[in-house]
Amino acid sequence: MVKIEFLGPINREAEYFNIKNLNDLAEILKNDSELIDWLEKSAVAINGKLVFDRNIELKSGDVVAILPPVCGG
C-alpha cells in the first residue's frame, strides 16, 4: 500500500491506496470534490522528493505527499 499525505491547509488524514503510479492516484482523487481545487495548485513529492512525472513507478511503503501553496518565514 502507498501512503498519501495531505499536507498543510488541506487538513485531512492520510489515506492508503494500492496504486502503481500517480496516474492511478489522479484517477482516484479526481472524484473527490473536496480535493479538486487543491490538486490544481498542489505539487507532489514521493518519499520526500518533488516529482514532475505521473508515470514514476510506486511500490508498497512509498509515501506520496500532496503539497499546497507555501509561505515560510
Provide the binding-site residues for other proteins, judged by CB under 8 A.
Answer: 7-9, 22, 25-26, 29, 36, 39-45, 47-52, 54, 63, 65-73
Q: How far is the CB of 18 from other proteins (least distance, A)?
A: 17
Residue 32 vs 60, nearer CB to other proteins: 32
Q: How far is the CB of 40 from other proteins (least distance, A)?
A: 4
**Backbone CA torsion sign across 63, 2, 66, 55:** positive
Residue 48 vs 61, nearer CB to other proteins: 48
Residues near 28 by beta carbon (within 8 Å), at least 6 away in sequence: 17, 19
What whole-number distance in Å separates Cα of residue 1 and Cα of residue 19? Answer: 7
